[in-house]
């Protein structure tokens, strides 16, 4: 069976929806910029690319049609490169990596671009015209429960206090600020030109955050709860792209892989506590890789909310010192369809940068799912 590797990772800057620098940029243009940057930086031969698999959580309006194929054309890739758009909500672009890995092992292509995008400024969360199934909603309303409500449910289930959440959020902000100041984010970001001005830094970070400031924030979802905007990932605009290929292709074409994909997994869970999805998916992925959580050197867990991150870390017995070393989504942002590619590309990058053997990327998914990828150093 062929070995599958991560051989490149890029993303746009991530900026706050509705008020950031990317408000006026179309999502298909954002994705095209990330993809074009990936091709240029890796030096992959565009003629060899089998498919562009693009994840998007709400593929309608400017994110509609078959956006992946349009991104192929916008990015100037050869007409022979195919494109498909996929949706597993927040796990969409990590799923694109899983699909590419499977295709490579089936000898259905050697090199793929796996990308994701979300403009939460231009296409609202839940879309423009949500229409829940009335029968399903009648007997299982949790299938359509808001993400904030699920975060409160997880917090209550695991008895996670507000101060504990705020300490976690502050750590995310501090790590991200240190990474930005230290230039550790520069290499992954493709600058975006807007009216002649280059946007090349993330805009969601709040380096001035303090525990006192977090404690003063109003509750966001439940006036009897514990979750605030400061302990939640912000609505975000952004795109990310990862180059996935066989190790034979990487060696033959002088690419520089950062990690080998060992195993992948998805799992379902109760919709009302969808934030626990990483627990179930990660357990499966770790078992398939034949390792235990203590063997992980690098862990990227999407910080949709502090409650679900803390619960997942507890249940999986993960080492906090190895988690989100350059900050997580509470600080950097969470453009739904793009996050899976970001955290998987980032985990591979940190593994190559700092050494170690194994890395895990994992995230929860609205509706009650989890997704996970285990990687090994080259």
Report which of 313, 296, 315 is spatially closest to residue 373, judged by C-alpha positions.
Answer: 296
- Euclidean distance between the first and the last CA atom of the chain, given in angstroms as a whole number: 17
As a whole number of angstroms, the distance between CA 143 and CA 343 comes to 26
Q: Shortest CA distance to 72 belongs to which of 88, 59, 85?
A: 85
CB-based burial label for 260 (10 Å; 0-12, 13-18, 19+):
middle
Residue 173 contacts residue 208 (beta carbons within 8 Å)? no
Q: Name residues whose C-beta falls within 8 Å of residue 325's C-beta, 6 or more positions apart in sequence.
A: 175, 179, 298, 350, 354
Token readout for 43 is 């030096």
> Which residues have a catalytic role annotated?
90, 334, 364
Residues 164 and 220: their CA atoms lie apart, in Å, by 16
């Amino acid at each position: 069976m062929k070995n599958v590797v991560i051989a490149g990772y890029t993303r746009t800057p991530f900026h706050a929806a509705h008020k950031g620098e990317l408000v006026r940029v179309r999502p298909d243009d954002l994705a095209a910029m990330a993809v074009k940057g990936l091709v240029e930086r890796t030096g992959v031969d565009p003629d060899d690319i089998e498919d562009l698999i693009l994840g998007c959580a709400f593929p309608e309006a400017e994110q509609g049609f078959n956006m992946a194929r349009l991104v192929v054309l916008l990015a100037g890739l050869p007409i022979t490169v195919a494109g498909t758009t996929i949706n597993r909500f927040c796990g969409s672009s990590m799923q694109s990596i899983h699909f590419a890995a499977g295709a490579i092992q089936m000898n259905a292509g050697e090199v793929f671009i796996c990308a994701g995008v979300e403009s939460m400024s231009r296409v609202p969360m839940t879309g423009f015209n949500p229409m829940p199934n009335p029968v399903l909603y009648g007997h299982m309303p949790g299938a359509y429960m808001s993400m904030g409500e699920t975060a409160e449910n997880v917090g209550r289930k695991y008895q996670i206090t507000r101060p504990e959440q705020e300490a976690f959020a502050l750590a995310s902000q501090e790590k991200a600020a240190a990474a930005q100041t230290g230039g550790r984010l520069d290499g992954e970001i493709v600058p975006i030109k807007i009216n002649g001005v280059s946007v090349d830094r993330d805009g969601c970070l709040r380096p001035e955050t303090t525990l006192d400031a977090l404690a003063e924030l109003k509750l966001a979802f439940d006036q009897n709860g514990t979750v605030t905007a400061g302990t939640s990932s912000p609505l975000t605009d952004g795109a990310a792209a990862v180059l996935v290929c066989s190790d034979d292709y990487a060696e033959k074409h002088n690419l520089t892989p950062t990690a080998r994909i060992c195993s992948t997994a998805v799992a379902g869970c109760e919709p009302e506590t969808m934030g626990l999805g990483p627990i179930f998916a990660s357990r499966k992925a770790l078992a398939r890789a034949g390792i235990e959580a203590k063997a992980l050197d690098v862990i990227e867990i999407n910080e949709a909310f502090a409650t679900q991150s803390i619960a997942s870390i507890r249940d999986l017995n993960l080492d906090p010192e190895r988690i989100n070393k350059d900050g997580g989504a509470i600080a950097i942002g969470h453009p739904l369809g793009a996050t899976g590619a970001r955290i998987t590309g980032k985990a591979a990058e940190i593994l190559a940068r700092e050494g170690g053997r194994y890395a895990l990327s994992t995230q929860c998914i609205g509706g009650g799912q989890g997704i996970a990828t285990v990687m090994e150093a080259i």
